Amino acid sequence: MAEWWRGSVTYQVYPRSFQDDNGDGIGDLSGITRRLDHIAALGVDAVWLSPFFTSPMLDMGYDVSDYKDVDPSFGTLADFDALVARAHELGLKIIIDQVLNHSSDKHPFFAQSRANRTNDKSDWYIWVDPRPDGTPPCNWLSVFGGPAFTWDARRKQYYLHSFLPQQPDFNYRNPDVVDYMEGVLRFWLDRGVDGFRFDTVNYFYKDALFRHDPADFKVKDQPDGNPYYMQYHIFSKNQPENLGWMERIRRVMDDYDDRATVGEMGEAHHAIRMMGDYTAPGRLHQCYSFEMMGYDYSAAFFRNKITEFFTGAPNGWPMWAFSNHDVVRQVSRWAKHGVSQDALARQAGALLLSFQGSICLWQGEELGQTDTELAFEELTDPQGINFWPEPIGRDNTRTPMVWDGSANGGFTGGNVKPWLPVKAPQLARNVASQQGVAGSVLETYRAMLAFRRGSKALIEGRTQFFDLPEPILGFTRGDDLLCLFNLSPDPVSVDVAGVGALVGPSQAAELAGGQVELGGNGFAFLTATGPVSVK
Protein backbone atom coordinates (compact mmCIF):
# COMPACT_ATOMS: atom_id res chain seq x y z
CA MET A 1 0.00 0.00 0.00
CA ALA A 2 1.49 3.31 -1.07
CA GLU A 3 2.47 5.58 1.84
CA TRP A 4 1.02 3.23 4.47
CA TRP A 5 3.04 5.18 7.03
CA ARG A 6 1.21 8.48 6.49
CA GLY A 7 -1.16 8.81 9.44
CA SER A 8 -0.16 5.39 10.77
CA VAL A 9 0.17 4.33 14.41
CA THR A 10 3.33 2.55 15.56
CA TYR A 11 3.68 0.64 18.83
CA GLN A 12 7.15 0.67 20.39
CA VAL A 13 8.41 -2.58 21.92
CA TYR A 14 11.45 -2.66 24.20
CA PRO A 15 12.61 -6.27 23.72
CA ARG A 16 14.21 -6.66 27.16
CA SER A 17 10.92 -5.76 28.83
CA PHE A 18 8.12 -7.20 26.71
CA GLN A 19 8.05 -10.97 27.28
CA ASP A 20 10.63 -13.44 28.58
CA ASP A 21 10.05 -16.85 27.01
CA ASN A 22 13.27 -18.65 28.00
CA GLY A 23 13.12 -17.91 31.72
CA ASP A 24 16.30 -15.87 32.14
CA GLY A 25 14.52 -12.70 33.29
CA ILE A 26 15.19 -10.85 30.02
CA GLY A 27 12.63 -10.41 27.27
CA ASP A 28 13.35 -12.06 23.93
CA LEU A 29 12.23 -12.20 20.32
CA SER A 30 10.18 -15.38 20.70
CA GLY A 31 8.36 -13.69 23.58
CA ILE A 32 7.52 -10.73 21.36
CA THR A 33 6.26 -13.11 18.67
CA ARG A 34 3.97 -14.80 21.22
CA ARG A 35 2.54 -11.44 22.28
CA LEU A 36 2.03 -9.95 18.82
CA ASP A 37 -1.68 -10.80 19.04
CA HIS A 38 -2.02 -8.19 21.78
CA ILE A 39 -0.48 -5.52 19.58
CA ALA A 40 -2.57 -6.50 16.56
CA ALA A 41 -5.75 -6.45 18.69
CA LEU A 42 -5.00 -2.86 19.67
CA GLY A 43 -5.41 -1.84 16.05
CA VAL A 44 -2.01 -0.30 15.32
CA ASP A 45 -0.25 -0.46 11.98
CA ALA A 46 3.39 -1.13 12.87
CA VAL A 47 5.74 -2.32 15.59
CA TRP A 48 9.02 -0.56 16.33
CA LEU A 49 11.58 -2.87 17.93
CA SER A 50 14.28 -1.22 20.02
CA PRO A 51 17.76 -2.72 19.44
CA PHE A 52 18.18 -6.50 19.61
CA PHE A 53 21.59 -6.67 17.92
CA THR A 54 24.74 -8.22 19.36
CA SER A 55 25.94 -5.94 22.15
CA PRO A 56 27.81 -5.82 25.48
CA MET A 57 24.61 -4.11 26.75
CA LEU A 58 26.34 -1.24 28.54
CA ASP A 59 23.61 0.97 27.05
CA MET A 60 21.08 -1.84 26.72
CA GLY A 61 21.68 -2.54 23.04
CA TYR A 62 22.38 0.99 21.86
CA ASP A 63 26.05 -0.06 21.86
CA VAL A 64 26.17 -2.44 18.89
CA SER A 65 29.05 -4.84 18.32
CA ASP A 66 27.52 -6.64 15.30
CA TYR A 67 24.96 -4.87 13.12
CA LYS A 68 23.94 -8.02 11.25
CA ASP A 69 23.16 -10.47 14.04
CA VAL A 70 20.91 -10.93 17.06
CA ASP A 71 22.28 -10.81 20.59
CA PRO A 72 22.04 -14.29 22.16
CA SER A 73 20.04 -12.85 25.05
CA PHE A 74 17.25 -12.12 22.55
CA GLY A 75 17.54 -15.23 20.37
CA THR A 76 18.73 -15.83 16.82
CA LEU A 77 18.25 -14.54 13.30
CA ALA A 78 15.81 -17.41 12.80
CA ASP A 79 13.78 -16.09 15.75
CA PHE A 80 13.78 -12.66 14.14
CA ASP A 81 12.62 -14.07 10.81
CA ALA A 82 9.79 -15.89 12.60
CA LEU A 83 8.77 -12.67 14.32
CA VAL A 84 8.61 -10.79 11.02
CA ALA A 85 6.62 -13.58 9.39
CA ARG A 86 4.08 -13.69 12.22
CA ALA A 87 3.75 -9.90 12.25
CA HIS A 88 3.03 -9.88 8.54
CA GLU A 89 0.42 -12.61 9.02
CA LEU A 90 -1.30 -10.30 11.50
CA GLY A 91 -1.11 -7.32 9.17
CA LEU A 92 1.59 -5.55 11.19
CA LYS A 93 4.65 -3.81 9.76
CA ILE A 94 8.02 -4.25 11.49
CA ILE A 95 10.31 -1.24 11.98
CA ILE A 96 13.69 -1.83 13.61
CA ASP A 97 16.07 0.53 15.35
CA GLN A 98 19.30 1.46 13.60
CA VAL A 99 22.02 2.87 15.88
CA LEU A 100 24.43 4.08 13.22
CA ASN A 101 26.01 7.14 14.82
CA HIS A 102 28.23 5.02 17.07
CA SER A 103 29.13 1.42 17.78
CA SER A 104 30.29 -0.43 20.84
CA ASP A 105 33.99 -0.23 21.57
CA LYS A 106 33.83 -4.04 21.33
CA HIS A 107 32.95 -3.86 17.65
CA PRO A 108 35.78 -5.42 15.59
CA PHE A 109 36.00 -2.24 13.51
CA PHE A 110 36.87 -0.15 16.54
CA ALA A 111 39.35 -2.71 17.83
CA GLN A 112 41.13 -2.45 14.49
CA SER A 113 40.78 1.33 14.28
CA ARG A 114 42.43 1.94 17.65
CA ALA A 115 45.34 -0.42 16.94
CA ASN A 116 47.29 2.12 14.89
CA ARG A 117 46.91 5.03 12.49
CA THR A 118 47.66 3.12 9.29
CA ASN A 119 45.23 0.16 9.08
CA ASP A 120 42.25 0.22 6.72
CA LYS A 121 39.81 1.01 9.56
CA SER A 122 42.00 3.70 11.11
CA ASP A 123 39.76 6.50 9.83
CA TRP A 124 36.41 4.81 10.48
CA TYR A 125 35.98 6.60 13.81
CA ILE A 126 36.60 10.21 14.82
CA TRP A 127 40.18 10.53 16.09
CA VAL A 128 41.73 13.88 17.00
CA ASP A 129 45.10 15.04 18.24
CA PRO A 130 45.40 16.70 21.65
CA ARG A 131 46.09 20.38 21.98
CA PRO A 132 49.66 21.29 23.02
CA ASP A 133 48.59 21.22 26.67
CA GLY A 134 47.24 17.67 26.31
CA THR A 135 43.57 18.57 26.49
CA PRO A 136 40.89 17.66 23.91
CA PRO A 137 40.47 19.95 20.91
CA CYS A 138 37.20 21.50 22.07
CA ASN A 139 34.60 21.65 24.83
CA TRP A 140 32.09 19.11 23.50
CA LEU A 141 30.31 17.14 26.21
CA SER A 142 28.88 13.64 26.34
CA VAL A 143 25.14 13.23 26.82
CA PHE A 144 25.95 10.69 29.53
CA GLY A 145 28.31 12.95 31.45
CA GLY A 146 31.86 14.29 31.15
CA PRO A 147 33.86 15.26 28.07
CA ALA A 148 32.96 13.75 24.71
CA PHE A 149 36.59 12.74 24.15
CA THR A 150 38.52 9.80 25.62
CA TRP A 151 42.28 9.36 25.36
CA ASP A 152 43.67 6.25 23.68
CA ALA A 153 47.34 5.56 24.48
CA ARG A 154 47.84 3.27 21.49
CA ARG A 155 47.17 5.99 18.94
CA LYS A 156 48.09 8.89 21.24
CA GLN A 157 44.86 10.54 20.17
CA TYR A 158 41.42 11.22 21.52
CA TYR A 159 38.35 9.52 20.08
CA LEU A 160 34.92 11.12 20.09
CA HIS A 161 31.89 9.61 21.81
CA SER A 162 28.61 11.50 22.02
CA PHE A 163 27.39 9.08 24.69
CA LEU A 164 29.36 6.53 26.77
CA PRO A 165 33.15 6.25 26.33
CA GLN A 166 32.35 2.69 25.23
CA GLN A 167 30.28 4.09 22.32
CA PRO A 168 32.76 5.65 19.87
CA ASP A 169 31.26 7.75 17.06
CA PHE A 170 31.74 6.71 13.46
CA ASN A 171 33.44 9.08 11.01
CA TYR A 172 30.81 9.77 8.34
CA ARG A 173 33.28 11.92 6.43
CA ASN A 174 34.88 8.63 5.37
CA PRO A 175 32.86 7.35 2.36
CA ASP A 176 33.71 3.75 3.27
CA VAL A 177 31.70 4.16 6.49
CA VAL A 178 28.69 5.44 4.57
CA ASP A 179 28.94 2.57 2.09
CA TYR A 180 29.09 0.07 4.93
CA MET A 181 26.02 1.55 6.64
CA GLU A 182 24.07 1.38 3.40
CA GLY A 183 24.93 -2.32 3.33
CA VAL A 184 23.58 -2.72 6.86
CA LEU A 185 20.26 -1.21 5.79
CA ARG A 186 20.04 -3.45 2.76
CA PHE A 187 20.82 -6.54 4.89
CA TRP A 188 17.72 -5.97 7.02
CA LEU A 189 15.53 -4.79 4.15
CA ASP A 190 16.36 -8.00 2.32
CA ARG A 191 15.20 -9.93 5.42
CA GLY A 192 11.78 -8.32 5.08
CA VAL A 193 11.71 -5.43 7.55
CA ASP A 194 9.30 -2.68 6.62
CA GLY A 195 11.40 0.24 7.78
CA PHE A 196 13.82 1.78 10.23
CA ARG A 197 13.80 4.08 13.21
CA PHE A 198 17.10 5.97 13.21
CA ASP A 199 18.60 6.70 16.60
CA THR A 200 20.07 10.19 17.14
CA VAL A 201 19.42 11.05 13.51
CA ASN A 202 20.93 14.53 13.73
CA TYR A 203 24.28 13.40 15.19
CA PHE A 204 26.04 11.66 12.29
CA TYR A 205 28.23 14.52 11.05
CA LYS A 206 30.28 16.79 13.33
CA ASP A 207 32.04 20.06 12.65
CA ALA A 208 35.27 19.28 10.81
CA LEU A 209 37.10 22.11 12.60
CA PHE A 210 36.06 20.98 16.11
CA ARG A 211 34.89 24.42 17.12
CA HIS A 212 33.61 24.98 20.65
CA ASP A 213 29.88 24.68 21.27
CA PRO A 214 28.67 27.97 22.78
CA ALA A 215 26.74 28.29 26.00
CA ASP A 216 23.01 27.69 25.72
CA PHE A 217 21.30 30.95 24.86
CA LYS A 218 18.35 30.07 27.07
CA VAL A 219 18.66 31.86 30.41
CA LYS A 220 18.98 29.46 33.33
CA ASP A 221 18.53 30.26 37.00
CA GLN A 222 20.81 27.39 38.05
CA PRO A 223 22.95 24.71 36.40
CA ASP A 224 21.23 21.75 34.78
CA GLY A 225 21.52 18.38 36.47
CA ASN A 226 23.31 17.30 33.28
CA PRO A 227 25.83 19.91 32.04
CA TYR A 228 25.31 18.71 28.47
CA TYR A 229 22.14 20.79 28.38
CA MET A 230 24.05 23.95 29.27
CA GLN A 231 25.52 24.05 25.75
CA TYR A 232 24.00 25.00 22.40
CA HIS A 233 25.15 22.13 20.19
CA ILE A 234 25.72 23.84 16.87
CA PHE A 235 29.03 22.11 16.11
CA SER A 236 28.94 18.71 17.85
CA LYS A 237 25.84 17.73 15.85
CA ASN A 238 23.23 19.22 13.47
CA GLN A 239 25.65 19.67 10.57
CA PRO A 240 24.26 20.37 7.07
CA GLU A 241 26.04 17.29 5.67
CA ASN A 242 23.59 15.19 7.70
CA LEU A 243 20.85 15.99 5.22
CA GLY A 244 22.84 14.46 2.37
CA TRP A 245 22.98 11.19 4.33
CA MET A 246 19.21 11.37 4.81
CA GLU A 247 18.80 11.68 1.04
CA ARG A 248 21.01 8.65 0.45
CA ILE A 249 18.97 6.67 2.97
CA ARG A 250 15.81 7.63 1.10
CA ARG A 251 17.28 6.43 -2.19
CA VAL A 252 18.02 3.07 -0.56
CA MET A 253 14.46 2.83 0.77
CA ASP A 254 13.04 3.71 -2.63
CA ASP A 255 14.71 0.59 -4.06
CA TYR A 256 12.20 -1.47 -2.02
CA ASP A 257 8.42 -1.46 -2.02
CA ASP A 258 6.34 0.08 0.78
CA ARG A 259 9.17 0.80 3.22
CA ALA A 260 9.34 3.72 5.63
CA THR A 261 11.74 5.59 7.87
CA VAL A 262 11.42 7.61 11.04
CA GLY A 263 14.15 9.69 12.62
CA GLU A 264 14.69 10.53 16.28
CA MET A 265 15.37 14.26 16.51
CA GLY A 266 17.43 14.55 19.68
CA GLU A 267 17.59 18.32 19.98
CA ALA A 268 16.59 20.88 22.60
CA HIS A 269 16.47 23.83 20.18
CA HIS A 270 14.37 24.27 17.05
CA ALA A 271 13.40 20.58 17.06
CA ILE A 272 10.07 21.14 15.29
CA ARG A 273 11.76 23.07 12.49
CA MET A 274 14.42 20.38 12.17
CA MET A 275 11.74 17.67 11.99
CA GLY A 276 10.51 19.51 8.92
CA ASP A 277 14.00 19.77 7.42
CA TYR A 278 14.63 16.05 7.86
CA THR A 279 11.30 15.04 6.29
CA ALA A 280 11.43 17.34 3.29
CA PRO A 281 10.82 15.56 -0.03
CA GLY A 282 13.58 13.07 -0.80
CA ARG A 283 14.61 12.64 2.85
CA LEU A 284 13.08 10.69 5.73
CA HIS A 285 9.40 9.78 5.62
CA GLN A 286 8.71 10.85 9.23
CA CYS A 287 10.51 12.37 12.19
CA TYR A 288 9.74 12.69 15.88
CA SER A 289 11.27 14.76 18.65
CA PHE A 290 10.98 15.03 22.41
CA GLU A 291 8.91 18.22 22.20
CA MET A 292 5.75 16.56 23.51
CA MET A 293 7.53 14.42 26.10
CA GLY A 294 7.94 17.16 28.69
CA TYR A 295 5.71 18.43 31.49
CA ASP A 296 3.62 21.00 29.61
CA TYR A 297 0.01 19.82 29.27
CA SER A 298 -1.59 23.08 28.16
CA ALA A 299 -3.83 23.71 25.19
CA ALA A 300 -1.54 26.47 23.95
CA PHE A 301 1.45 24.13 23.98
CA PHE A 302 -0.12 21.45 21.80
CA ARG A 303 -1.73 24.01 19.53
CA ASN A 304 1.55 25.84 19.00
CA LYS A 305 3.66 22.75 18.32
CA ILE A 306 1.34 21.30 15.71
CA THR A 307 0.80 24.67 14.05
CA GLU A 308 4.55 25.30 14.03
CA PHE A 309 5.23 22.07 12.19
CA PHE A 310 2.58 22.29 9.49
CA THR A 311 3.18 26.00 8.92
CA GLY A 312 6.95 25.64 8.68
CA ALA A 313 7.08 22.28 6.90
CA PRO A 314 3.98 21.85 4.71
CA ASN A 315 5.78 19.14 2.73
CA GLY A 316 7.20 17.30 5.75
CA TRP A 317 5.56 14.74 7.99
CA PRO A 318 5.68 14.42 11.79
CA MET A 319 5.38 11.45 14.10
CA TRP A 320 3.96 12.58 17.44
CA ALA A 321 4.68 10.74 20.67
CA PHE A 322 4.03 11.49 24.34
CA SER A 323 6.39 8.85 25.80
CA ASN A 324 9.13 6.39 24.90
CA HIS A 325 11.94 4.37 26.49
CA ASP A 326 13.93 7.52 27.35
CA VAL A 327 11.42 9.62 29.30
CA VAL A 328 9.09 9.56 32.29
CA ARG A 329 5.74 7.98 31.41
CA GLN A 330 3.02 10.43 30.48
CA VAL A 331 0.60 9.61 33.32
CA SER A 332 3.41 10.23 35.82
CA ARG A 333 4.54 13.46 34.14
CA TRP A 334 1.07 14.96 33.87
CA ALA A 335 -0.44 13.57 37.09
CA LYS A 336 -1.39 16.97 38.50
CA HIS A 337 -3.66 17.56 35.49
CA GLY A 338 -5.71 14.40 36.07
CA VAL A 339 -8.99 13.98 37.89
CA SER A 340 -7.76 10.38 38.26
CA GLN A 341 -4.95 8.30 36.83
CA ASP A 342 -7.31 6.38 34.56
CA ALA A 343 -9.10 9.49 33.33
CA LEU A 344 -5.81 11.16 32.47
CA ALA A 345 -4.54 8.01 30.74
CA ARG A 346 -7.67 7.71 28.63
CA GLN A 347 -7.59 11.38 27.69
CA ALA A 348 -3.89 11.40 26.81
CA GLY A 349 -4.44 8.44 24.48
CA ALA A 350 -7.42 10.05 22.78
CA LEU A 351 -5.57 13.37 22.48
CA LEU A 352 -2.48 11.89 20.86
CA LEU A 353 -4.50 9.74 18.49
CA SER A 354 -6.46 12.77 17.29
CA PHE A 355 -3.38 14.63 16.06
CA GLN A 356 -2.54 15.20 12.40
CA GLY A 357 0.52 13.16 11.51
CA SER A 358 1.71 9.70 12.41
CA ILE A 359 1.62 8.47 16.00
CA CYS A 360 3.91 6.37 18.17
CA LEU A 361 2.71 4.61 21.35
CA TRP A 362 5.11 3.38 24.04
CA GLN A 363 4.40 -0.11 25.38
CA GLY A 364 2.28 -0.03 28.52
CA GLU A 365 0.69 3.35 27.87
CA GLU A 366 -2.43 1.49 26.71
CA LEU A 367 -2.72 0.28 30.32
CA GLY A 368 -2.27 3.71 31.91
CA GLN A 369 1.06 2.51 33.28
CA THR A 370 3.18 4.77 35.50
CA ASP A 371 6.89 5.04 36.12
CA THR A 372 8.35 2.59 38.62
CA GLU A 373 10.06 3.98 41.70
CA LEU A 374 13.50 2.36 41.81
CA ALA A 375 16.25 2.40 44.41
CA PHE A 376 19.78 3.23 43.30
CA GLU A 377 20.90 -0.40 43.66
CA GLU A 378 18.14 -1.50 41.26
CA LEU A 379 19.38 0.70 38.39
CA THR A 380 21.08 -0.57 35.24
CA ASP A 381 20.94 2.60 33.11
CA PRO A 382 24.27 4.45 32.94
CA GLN A 383 22.50 7.78 32.57
CA GLY A 384 20.45 7.16 35.70
CA ILE A 385 23.49 5.97 37.65
CA ASN A 386 25.74 8.84 36.55
CA PHE A 387 23.23 11.55 37.39
CA TRP A 388 21.53 10.05 40.44
CA PRO A 389 19.18 11.29 41.82
CA GLU A 390 18.39 13.90 39.14
CA PRO A 391 17.79 14.05 36.29
CA ILE A 392 15.94 10.77 36.66
CA GLY A 393 17.25 7.91 34.56
CA ARG A 394 15.45 5.73 32.07
CA ASP A 395 15.03 2.43 33.94
CA ASN A 396 11.88 3.75 35.63
CA THR A 397 9.96 3.70 32.35
CA ARG A 398 11.57 0.48 31.05
CA THR A 399 10.31 -1.97 33.66
CA PRO A 400 8.60 -5.10 32.26
CA MET A 401 5.25 -5.18 30.52
CA VAL A 402 2.53 -6.45 32.87
CA TRP A 403 0.30 -9.10 31.35
CA ASP A 404 -1.59 -10.37 34.40
CA GLY A 405 -1.67 -10.14 38.19
CA SER A 406 0.65 -13.06 38.88
CA ALA A 407 4.18 -12.75 40.25
CA ASN A 408 6.28 -10.71 37.78
CA GLY A 409 3.07 -9.88 35.93
CA GLY A 410 3.38 -12.77 33.49
CA PHE A 411 6.52 -11.22 32.00
CA THR A 412 8.62 -14.10 33.29
CA GLY A 413 8.24 -17.02 35.70
CA GLY A 414 7.26 -16.18 39.25
CA ASN A 415 10.46 -17.66 40.65
CA VAL A 416 12.69 -15.75 38.20
CA LYS A 417 14.28 -12.40 38.98
CA PRO A 418 13.51 -10.06 36.06
CA TRP A 419 16.19 -7.66 34.87
CA LEU A 420 14.14 -4.81 36.37
CA PRO A 421 11.52 -5.38 39.07
CA VAL A 422 7.76 -5.50 38.60
CA LYS A 423 6.36 -3.62 41.59
CA ALA A 424 2.84 -3.48 43.03
CA PRO A 425 1.66 -0.19 41.44
CA GLN A 426 2.61 -1.49 38.00
CA LEU A 427 1.31 -5.00 38.70
CA ALA A 428 -2.13 -3.55 39.38
CA ARG A 429 -2.34 -2.21 35.82
CA ASN A 430 -2.18 -5.36 33.73
CA VAL A 431 -3.65 -6.55 30.45
CA ALA A 432 -5.79 -9.37 31.87
CA SER A 433 -7.59 -7.14 34.37
CA GLN A 434 -8.52 -4.60 31.69
CA GLN A 435 -9.26 -6.96 28.82
CA GLY A 436 -12.94 -6.70 27.84
CA VAL A 437 -13.74 -4.27 30.67
CA ALA A 438 -15.81 -1.39 29.35
CA GLY A 439 -14.21 1.94 30.11
CA SER A 440 -10.82 0.50 31.00
CA VAL A 441 -7.76 2.31 29.66
CA LEU A 442 -6.99 -0.65 27.40
CA GLU A 443 -10.48 -0.80 25.88
CA THR A 444 -10.50 2.98 25.45
CA TYR A 445 -7.26 2.78 23.48
CA ARG A 446 -8.71 0.02 21.31
CA ALA A 447 -11.84 2.05 20.68
CA MET A 448 -9.85 5.18 19.88
CA LEU A 449 -7.53 3.31 17.52
CA ALA A 450 -10.53 1.82 15.70
CA PHE A 451 -12.12 5.27 15.49
CA ARG A 452 -8.94 6.78 14.07
CA ARG A 453 -8.46 4.00 11.55
CA GLY A 454 -12.03 4.35 10.30
CA SER A 455 -11.97 8.15 10.12
CA LYS A 456 -10.72 9.75 6.93
CA ALA A 457 -10.70 13.07 8.80
CA LEU A 458 -8.26 11.77 11.45
CA ILE A 459 -5.98 10.10 8.92
CA GLU A 460 -5.95 12.74 6.21
CA GLY A 461 -7.76 15.86 7.40
CA ARG A 462 -6.02 19.17 7.96
CA THR A 463 -6.16 20.74 11.41
CA GLN A 464 -7.85 24.03 12.19
CA PHE A 465 -7.47 25.21 15.79
CA PHE A 466 -9.90 27.42 17.67
CA ASP A 467 -8.58 30.20 19.87
CA LEU A 468 -10.04 28.99 23.17
CA PRO A 469 -9.09 29.81 26.75
CA GLU A 470 -7.17 27.32 28.87
CA PRO A 471 -7.67 24.50 29.61
CA ILE A 472 -9.76 23.85 26.47
CA LEU A 473 -8.16 22.52 23.30
CA GLY A 474 -10.48 22.54 20.31
CA PHE A 475 -9.84 21.88 16.64
CA THR A 476 -11.42 20.46 13.53
CA ARG A 477 -9.90 17.68 11.45
CA GLY A 478 -10.93 17.91 7.84
CA ASP A 479 -14.38 19.29 7.10
CA ASP A 480 -16.51 17.08 9.31
CA LEU A 481 -14.97 16.38 12.73
CA LEU A 482 -14.69 18.60 15.81
CA CYS A 483 -12.32 17.50 18.60
CA LEU A 484 -12.67 18.97 22.10
CA PHE A 485 -10.48 18.32 25.16
CA ASN A 486 -10.62 19.66 28.71
CA LEU A 487 -6.99 19.42 29.83
CA SER A 488 -7.76 19.88 33.52
CA PRO A 489 -9.45 18.05 36.42
CA ASP A 490 -12.18 20.73 36.67
CA PRO A 491 -15.38 20.76 34.58
CA VAL A 492 -15.81 23.28 31.76
CA SER A 493 -18.53 24.27 29.27
CA VAL A 494 -18.02 25.01 25.59
CA ASP A 495 -20.52 26.77 23.31
CA VAL A 496 -20.65 25.15 19.88
CA ALA A 497 -22.52 25.67 16.63
CA GLY A 498 -22.57 23.79 13.36
CA VAL A 499 -22.22 20.35 14.96
CA GLY A 500 -24.37 17.24 15.15
CA ALA A 501 -24.02 14.23 17.40
CA LEU A 502 -21.16 12.92 19.51
CA VAL A 503 -19.22 10.26 17.60
CA GLY A 504 -16.48 7.85 18.57
CA PRO A 505 -15.10 7.47 22.10
CA SER A 506 -15.79 10.17 24.66
CA GLN A 507 -15.21 10.80 28.35
CA ALA A 508 -17.23 12.94 30.76
CA ALA A 509 -18.88 14.68 27.81
CA GLU A 510 -22.48 15.69 27.18
CA LEU A 511 -24.00 17.64 24.31
CA ALA A 512 -27.06 19.66 25.30
CA GLY A 513 -28.45 22.18 22.84
CA GLY A 514 -25.59 24.39 21.73
CA GLN A 515 -23.26 23.50 24.57
CA VAL A 516 -20.81 20.70 25.34
CA GLU A 517 -20.23 19.95 29.01
CA LEU A 518 -16.81 18.45 29.65
CA GLY A 519 -16.01 17.03 33.06
CA GLY A 520 -12.48 16.73 34.39
CA ASN A 521 -10.27 15.33 31.59
CA GLY A 522 -13.34 15.17 29.41
CA PHE A 523 -13.07 14.81 25.66
CA ALA A 524 -15.51 14.58 22.80
CA PHE A 525 -15.64 14.18 19.04
CA LEU A 526 -18.59 15.69 17.17
CA THR A 527 -19.72 15.59 13.58
CA ALA A 528 -19.72 18.89 11.73
CA THR A 529 -22.96 19.75 9.94
CA GLY A 530 -21.86 23.13 8.64
CA PRO A 531 -19.39 25.88 9.49
CA VAL A 532 -18.24 25.12 13.04
CA SER A 533 -17.83 27.76 15.71
CA VAL A 534 -16.58 27.14 19.23
CA LYS A 535 -16.27 29.56 22.13
Which residues are catalytically annotated?
A: 199, 264
Please name the residues in contact with 114: beta carbons below 8 A apart, sequence gap of 6 or more. Answer: 125, 152, 154, 155, 159
DSSP string, 12-27: EE-GGGT--SSSSSS-
d(CA 487, CA 474): 11
Cβ-based burial of 491 (10 A; exposed 0-12, middle 13-18, buried ≥19): middle
What is Dmax (Cα atoms) for the chain? 80
Please name the residues in contact with 168: beta carbons below 8 A apart, sequence gap of 6 or more. Answer: 102, 103, 105, 110, 113, 125, 126, 159, 160, 161
Give counts: helices (H), strands (E), the chain: 15, 18
d(CA 388, CA 384): 6
Residues 430, 409 contacting (CB under 8 angstroms): yes
Q: Find the angle CA(249)-CA(255)-CA(257) to the nearest 5 degrees.
A: 110
Please name the residues in contact with 3: beta carbons below 8 A apart, sequence gap of 6 or more. Answer: none
* Amino acid of residue 260: A
